[in-house]
């Protein structure tokens, strides 16, 4: 089984690496980081450079596609090389997945029309403009499309997916192996829970995102 994790300039690191850490241990699986061109790809904060092992056209039919989000997603919304690859890959994939604003790329490729899907909480309205039915859920499974909410939701998206791909026992084994027993020191991880002033600041585009 082949898992393709898509990289592009100014992706958000945890969007890609959270699911990677969950999925890469699946027995009989090869995980490949892919980008339009192989080689170094730098994240949205500029300090992290990953190596894309293969070009998109070298990985035409992965079993699982993972599309991260990040500020660079905007520049990819009209990149027909990527969008065309997403359509082709989705035609034969077992699972097509995204994290955060990666779902906007699936949407721009026409893959979410009439489907329930999620995204970063700030991007749900935009998702609707592509004919998707946005929900505020953290993980949404609609047929073979699995979307996760913002950034860290990729961990929950991928653990959900891992259960479907490799069974509940294996998924729980990975959960224990990576000690995924979250205990955040604050309870401000969603717009329903965070102080209103913080929600407003981010909604207005505070630069914490860059």
Tell me, yes or no, if 100 is annotated catalytic: yes
Applying CB under 8 A, among 66, 109, 151, 165 the residue interacting with a second copy is 151
**160 lines the binding site for a second copy (CB under 8 A):** yes
H or E element: which one contains 175?
A: helix 168-177
Applying CB under 8 A, among 34, 66, 117, 174 the residue interacting with a second copy is 174
Stretch that binds a second copy, among 59-67, 75-83, 124-132, 187-195 (CB under 8 A): 187-195
Q: How far is it, in rounded angstroms, from Cα 130 to Cα 37?
A: 27
The answer to whether residues 102 and 68 touch, using CB atoms and an 8 Å cutoff, is yes
**171 lines the binding site for a second copy (CB under 8 A):** yes
| Phi and psi at residue 7, to the nearest 5° | -115, 150
**178 lines the binding site for a second copy (CB under 8 A):** yes
User: Which one of 7, 99, 100, 123 is the catalytic residue?
Assistant: 100
Among residues 41, 101, 50, the alpha carbon closest in space to that of 77 is found at: 101
The answer to whether residues 103 and 138 touch, using CB atoms and an 8 Å cutoff, is no
Stretch that binds a second copy, among 74-82, 89-97, 103-111, 159-167 (CB under 8 A): 159-167
**87 lines the binding site for a second copy (CB under 8 A):** no
The answer to whether residues 25 and 177 touch, using CB atoms and an 8 Å cutoff, is yes
**49 lines the binding site for a second copy (CB under 8 A):** yes
**199 lines the binding site for a second copy (CB under 8 A):** yes
**208 lines the binding site for a second copy (CB under 8 A):** yes
Sign of the dihedral through C-alpha 9, 15, 17, 23: negative
**149 lines the binding site for a second copy (CB under 8 A):** yes
Q: How far is it, in rounded angstroms, from Cα 120 to Cα 103?
A: 9
**In terms of C-beta density within 10 A (0-12 exposed, 13-18 middle, 19 or more buried), how is residue 186 classed?**
exposed
For the annotated catalytic residues, the residue numbers are 100
> What residues make contact with a second copy under the rule CB under 8 A?
12-14, 17-18, 20-21, 24-25, 30-33, 40, 45, 47-51, 53, 100, 120-121, 138-139, 149-153, 155-156, 159-160, 163, 168-169, 171-186, 188-191, 193-195, 198-199, 201-202, 206, 208-210
């Amino acid at each position: 089984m082949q898992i393709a994790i898509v990289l592009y300039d100014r992706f958000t690191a945890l969007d890609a690496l959270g699911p990677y850490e969950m999925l890469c241990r699946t027995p009989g699986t090869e995980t490949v980081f892919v980008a339009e061109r192989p080689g170094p790809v730098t994240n949205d904060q500029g300090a992290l450079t990953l190596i894309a092992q293969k070009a998109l056209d070298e990985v035409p039919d992965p079993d699982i596609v993972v599309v991260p989000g990040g500020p660079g997603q905007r520049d990819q919304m009209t990149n027909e090389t990527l969008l065309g690859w997403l359509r082709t890959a989705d035609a034969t994939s077992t699972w097509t997945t995204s994290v955060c604003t990666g779902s906007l790329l699936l949407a721009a490729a026409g893959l979410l029309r009439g489907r329930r899907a999620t995204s970063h909480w700030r991007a749900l309205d935009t998702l609707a403009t592509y004919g998707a039915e946005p929900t505020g859920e953290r993980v949404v499974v609609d047929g073979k499309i699995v979307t996760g909410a913002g950034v860290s939701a990729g961990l929950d998206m991928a653990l959900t997916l891992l259960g479907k791909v490799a069974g509940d026992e294996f998924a729980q084994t990975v959960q224990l192996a990576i000690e995924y027993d979250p205990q955040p020191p604050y309870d401000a991880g969603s717009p329903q829970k965070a102080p209103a002033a913080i929600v407003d600041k981010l909604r207005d585009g505070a630069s914490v995102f860059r």
